């Protein structure tokens, strides 16, 4: 290459700066493309892109889901890069703006992330976008070089034909003039280079290790005031009066105003610290006449009282309560257990926060690690009194969520909107929750009480299983009720048991709703977070009563030819094998197994423990997962590792308790997260599969707790029916 051509290319590059090819779907879900000088010039009312190709050849993948650590930025990028044969290092990511049509989650029909659906719903959509770009670029090169497209290939981000080679940016003008293929050919699994590849570098692993990754907590815009909210110490309390004499002495304190909902006071200041300091010294009086004023013991006892009655709903297909009861009463042996599982907080590392920034044209931008733009967007428009098109949402990395950032009421965004309005609507407002706000702020995994009766034949076979669950519905009373509650049953209260794979002759699962003023919410793995514990600990109790090995005992109820049972049996066998289930352990050591299907993914986990002076240590966890085709094996492993840690930590020692309505846990010392020294090695084994990919964010959680409890029960012999374990007779090293 001569100096002249280099210079010419350079000039061409400069001249073309900002020009990019945009490929995406229009509102009808049909592929579309356009060229524009910059993203700002793009007519986003009719078109939003999924892929951008800049004139320098850089590919940008637009991520319609939010990244809370689950790896979606890496996953969705892999899908595009695979079909496009792009160079991994040369792909950037960008979070999509809020748009309920173009960027909807195809599993929900609205834009949002949850239920371990990101890869599953995007698998064809993002690959199709990538494949369309690939076909288009080849056609464009064919035109530019006057060579048949059959002789042109794309490899690792370069378009090639014989000696000719070009990066993607060099053909975008030609590409823009060509029609986009409507149904581009997708690769077959044997052609995959990136999908299934081990150790793909995460797209977010540079900016998250040098301090440059932007979370909403890091947003600072001009003329911004900071707000924290002093909330009623009891759920359902209303504000009577407050005084700010002390707060006025805090440097930086600006003002305090009652929230229109009467359940809190917005405290404004010129810095986060000033807002926190001022809030601490504001004295408020609350009316608790309609509040939740009970203590946890009373609430738990009341759950157990309801458990004694006949369930309000029967939720398992084919389950017959009376017949099951009858079968159990005539069984040779009977196992009975009552379980109580506590309220749990999500406690993501980044406390909840967001910024509302006003614009000179009257519109606003919400800066947020926004999990559910599809709900937040219209809600904000309504509260602030704007047209939907006047509201923009800029999505940032979220410092964890575990479900907390997605609420039907858009709770913290709504608080920010009220705080913004109350302050006059002209200044940007940053709402920050402290950790104390987070733990006392509700939206917990609900308490759940289960009663299980299992009948065993004289051969030690389960003849009937009667199950009753009492818990507060997450869905009832929210806008999701119409779509998600069927015949009065909130399936999330019973999922995992009502549809358990075990084939048991009589299996009835009853439900009775509990109600209270305590706001409850999906918590990583939702209903499975309690149902898997009860189901899998009960299986071990039954196996013990039957005198059978827990692995073999489970497999006995997964013998049919249906895919569900086969896949669950598959992960049980794989986990048992990799965990050396048959091999004896030293004295004072034990293993426990649990298996559970959730979010269409099958997971079995074996926890190996040791006991020294009665203190339990988790030495090793072996996990087998079948999530269909593994798109990013390393992300799958990371999600299993994280899910296991999340599940174990909660079951070991987490609970939210109330004393006369007030939350007793103030901060992490009272709600101790799992720590590095709590857990030994985790090994994850992925079942090879060509089935459609399913989610991995949640399914690692459910089996972890019961596998640990089963290991401890194997060692100590006493059933573990009340959680957390450390408050109920188990000491950890």
Partner 1 sequence: MPVTLNINGEDKKVDVAEDTPLLWVIRDELNLTGTKFGCGVASCGACTVHINGKPVRSCQTNIQDVEKSKITTIEGLSGKTSKAVQDAWRELNVVQCGYCQSGQIMSAVGLLSKNPKPTDQEIDTAMQGNACRCATYQRIRAAIHLAATKLEA
- What's the min distance (Å) between Cβ of 345 and partner 1? 10
Distance, in Å, from the CA atom of 250 to the CA atom of 238, rounded to the nearest integer, reads 26
How far is it, in rounded angstroms, from Cα 141 to Cα 159? 8
User: Exposed (0-12), middle (13-18) or buried (19+): which is 699, by Cβ within 10 Å?
Assistant: buried
Considering beta carbons, is residue 208 or 421 the nearer one to partner 1? 208
Task: Please pick, from the candidates 13, 181, 233, 252, the single residue that binds partner 1 as defined by CB under 8 A.
Answer: 252
Q: Which residue has the tokens 């109350």?
A: 422
What's the min distance (Å) between Cβ of 358 and partner 1? 20
Q: Please answer whether residues 632 and 639 qualify as being in contact, where contact means their C-beta atoms are separated by less than 8 angstroms.
A: no
For 197, the token pair is 């590849």
Assess 277 for contact with partner 1 (CB under 8 A).
yes
Q: Interface with partner 1 includes 30 (CB under 8 A)?
A: no
> Are 699 and 647 in contact, with CB atoms under 8 Å apart?
no
Q: Is residue 472 within 8 Å of residue 515, measured between CB atoms?
A: yes
Q: Does 634 bind partner 1 (CB under 8 A)?
A: yes
Pairwise CA distance, residues 489 & 505, whole Å: 23
State how beta strands 679-686 and 601-612 pair: unpaired
Q: Which is nearer to partner 1, 233 or 673 (CB)?
A: 673
Tokens of 137: 């670029």
Q: At closest approach, how far in Å is the CB of 24 from partner 1?
A: 27
| Other Cβ atoms within 10 Å of 710 Cβ, number | 28
Binding mask 661-690 for partner 1 (x = CB under 8 A): ------xxx---xxxxx-x-xx--------
- For 450-465, b/e burial (b = at least 16 CB within 10 A) is bbbbbbbeeebbbbbb
* Residue 394 burial (10 A CB sphere; 0-12, 13-18, 19+): middle
Site string for partner 1, 475-514 (x = CB under 8 A): ----------------------------------------
| Beta partners for residue 448, in sequence order | 341, 471
Interface with partner 1 (CB under 8 A), residue total: 66
Which CB, 251 or 297, lies closer to partner 1? 251
Nearest distance in Å: CB 273, partner 1: 4
Alpha-carbon gap, residue 128 to 721, rounded angstroms = 49
Residue pair 431/353 in contact (Cβ under 8 Å)? The answer is yes
Q: Binding segment for partner 1 among 267-275, 304-312, 466-474, 542-550 (CB under 8 A)?
A: 267-275
Peptide bond into 724 cis (omega under 30): yes
Please report how close the Cβ of residue 95 comes to partner 1 at its closest, in angstroms: 14
Q: How many helices and strands in the chain, by DSSP H and E? A: 17, 31
- Which window, 23-31, 140-148, 273-281, 295-303, contacts partner 1 (CB under 8 A)? 273-281
Q: 536 and 594 in contact (C-beta within 8 Å)?
A: yes
Query: Which span (179-187, 189-197, 245-253, 417-425) binds partner 1, by CB under 8 A?
Result: 245-253
Q: Which is nearer to partner 1, 205 or 330 (CB)?
A: 205
State the minimum distance, in angstroms, from the CB of residue 74 to partner 1: 8
| x/- letters, 384..423, toward partner 1 (CB under 8 A) | -------------xxxxxx---------------------
Cβ-contact 462, 542 below 8 angstroms? yes
Cβ at position 69, least distance to partner 1 in Å: 3
Smallest distance, partner 1 to C-beta of residue 385, A? 30
| Beta bridge partners of residue 333, listed in sequence order | 456
CA proximity to 573, closest of 563, 582, 564, 585: 582
Q: Which is nearer to partner 1, 28 or 212 (CB)?
A: 212
Nearer to partner 1, 203 or 451 (CB): 203
The nearer residue to partner 1, 187 or 617, going by C-beta atoms, is: 617
Among 7, 164, 251, 309, binds partner 1 (CB under 8 A): 251
Number of CB atoms found within 10 A of residue 17's CB = 12
Which residues ranging from 196 to 235 are in contact with partner 1 (CB under 8 A)? 199, 201-202, 204-215, 217-218, 220, 226
Task: Please identify, among the stretches 357-365, 588-596, 642-650, 657-665, the one whose residues bind partner 1 according to the rule CB under 8 A.
Answer: 642-650
Q: With respect to partner 1, which residue has the nearer C-beta, 71 or 236?
A: 71
Shortest gap between Cβ of 346 and partner 1 (angstroms)?
8
User: In the complex, what is the shortest distance from the CB of residue 245 to partner 1, in angstroms, rounded to a whole number?
Assistant: 18
Measured CA to CA, the distance from residue 597 to residue 509 in angstroms comes to 17
Residues in contact with partner 1, shown as a per-residue x/- string from 61 to 100 under the rule CB under 8 A? ------xxxxx-----------------------------
Nearer residue to partner 1 within complex by CB, 182 or 210? 210
Q: How many CB atoms lie within 10 A of CB 183?
A: 9
Phi first, then psi, for residue 265 (nearest 5°) are: -125, 125
**What is the distance in angstroms between the CA of the first residue and the CA of the last residue of the chain?**
67
What residues between 127 and 146 interact with partner 1 by CB under 8 A? none
Q: What residues line the site for partner 1 (CB under 8 A)?
A: 67-71, 199, 201-202, 204-215, 217-218, 220, 226, 250-252, 271-274, 276-277, 347-351, 397-402, 434-435, 634-635, 638, 641-642, 644-646, 649, 667-669, 673-677, 679, 681-682
């Amino acid at each position: 290459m001569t100096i002249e051509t280099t210079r010419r290319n350079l000039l061409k590059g400069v001249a073309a700066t900002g020009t990019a090819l945009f490929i995406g779907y229009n509102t009808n879900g049909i592929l579309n493309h356009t060229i524009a000088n910059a993203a700002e010039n793009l007519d986003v009312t009719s078109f939003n892109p999924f892929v951008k190709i800049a004139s320098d050849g850089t590919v940008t993948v637009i991520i319609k889901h939010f990244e809370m650590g689950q790896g979606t930025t890496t996953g969705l990028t892999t899908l595009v890069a695979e079909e496009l044969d792009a160079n991994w290092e040369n792909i950037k990511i960008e979070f999509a703006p809020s748009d309920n049509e173009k960027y909807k989650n195809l599993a929900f029909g609205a834009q949002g992330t949850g239920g371990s659906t990101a890869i599953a719903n995007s698998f064809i959509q993002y690959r199709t976008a990538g494949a369309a770009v690939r076909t288009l670029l080849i056609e464009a090169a064919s035109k530019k070089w006057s060579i048949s497209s059959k002789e042109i290939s794309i490899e690792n981000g370069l378009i090639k034909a014989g000696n000719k080679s070009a990066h993607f940016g060099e053909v975008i003008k030609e590409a823009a003039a060509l029609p986009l293929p409507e149904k581009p050919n997708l690769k077959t699994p044997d052609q995959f280079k990136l999908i299934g590849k081990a150790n793909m570098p995460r797209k977010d692993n540079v900016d998250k290790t040098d301090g440059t990754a932007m979370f909403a907590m890091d947003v600072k815009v001009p003329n911004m005031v900071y707000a924290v909210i002093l909330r009623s110490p009891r759920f359902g309390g209303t504000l009577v009066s407050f005084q700010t004499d002390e707060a006025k002495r805090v440097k930086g304190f600006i003002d305090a105003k009652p929230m229109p909902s009467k359940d809190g006071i917005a405290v404004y200041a010129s810095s986060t610290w000033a807002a926190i300091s001022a809030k601490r010294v504001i004295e408020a009086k609350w009316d608790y006449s309609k509040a939740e004023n009970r203590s946890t013991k009373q609430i738990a006892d009341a759950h157990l009282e309801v458990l004694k009655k006949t369930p309000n709903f029967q939720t398992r297909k084919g389950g017959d309560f009376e017949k099951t009861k009858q079968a159990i009463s005539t069984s040779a042996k009977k196992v009975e257990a009552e379980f109580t599982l506590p309220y749990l907080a999500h406690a993501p590392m980044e406390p909840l926060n967001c910024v509302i920034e006003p614009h000179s044209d009257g519109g606003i931008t919400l800066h947020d690690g926004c999990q559910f733009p599809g709900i937040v967007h219209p809600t904000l428009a309504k509260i602030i009194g704007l047209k939907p098109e006047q509201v923009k949402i800029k999505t940032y990395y979220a410092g964890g969520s575990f479900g907390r950032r997605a609420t039907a009421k858009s709770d913290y965004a709504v608080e920010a909107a009220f705080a913004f309005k109350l302050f006059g609507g002209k200044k940007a407002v940053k709402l920050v929750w402290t950790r104390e706000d987070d733990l006392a702020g509700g939206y917990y995994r609900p308490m759940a009480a289960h009663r299980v009766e299992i009948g065993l034949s004289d051969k030690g076979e389960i003849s009937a299983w009667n199950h009753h669950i009492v818990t507060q519905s997450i869905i009832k009373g929210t806008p999701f009720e119409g779509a998600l509650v069927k015949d009065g049953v909130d399936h999330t209260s019973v999922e995992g048991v009502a549809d358990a794979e075990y084939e048991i002759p009589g299996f009835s699962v009853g439900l009775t709703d509990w109600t209270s003023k305590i706001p409850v919410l999906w918590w990583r793995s939702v209903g499975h977070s309690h149902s898997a514990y009860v189901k899998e600990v009960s299986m071990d109790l039954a196996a013990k009563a039957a005198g059978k090995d827990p692995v073999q005992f489970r497999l006995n109820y997964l013998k049919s030819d249906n895919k569900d049972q086969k896949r669950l049996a598959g992960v049980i066998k794989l986990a048992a094998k990799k965990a050396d289930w048959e091999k004896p352990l030293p004295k004072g050591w034990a293993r426990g197994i649990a298996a559970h299907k959730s979010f269409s993914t099958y997971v079995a986990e074996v926890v190996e423990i040791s006991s020294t002076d009665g203190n339990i240590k988790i030495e090793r966890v072996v996990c087998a997962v079948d999530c269909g085709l593994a798109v990013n094996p390393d992300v799958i492993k990371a999600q299993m590792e994280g899910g296991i840690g999340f599940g174990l930590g909660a079951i070991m020692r987490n609970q939210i308790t109330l004393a006369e309505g007030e939350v007793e846990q103030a901060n992490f010392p009272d709600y101790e997260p799992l720590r590095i020294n709590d857990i030994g090695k985790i090994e994850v084994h992925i079942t090879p599969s060509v089935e459609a990919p399913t989610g991995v964010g949640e399914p690692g959680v459910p089996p972890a707790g019961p596998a640990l409890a089963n290991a401890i029960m194997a060692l100590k012999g006493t059933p573990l029916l009340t959680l957390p374990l450390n408050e109920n007779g188990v000491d950890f090293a």
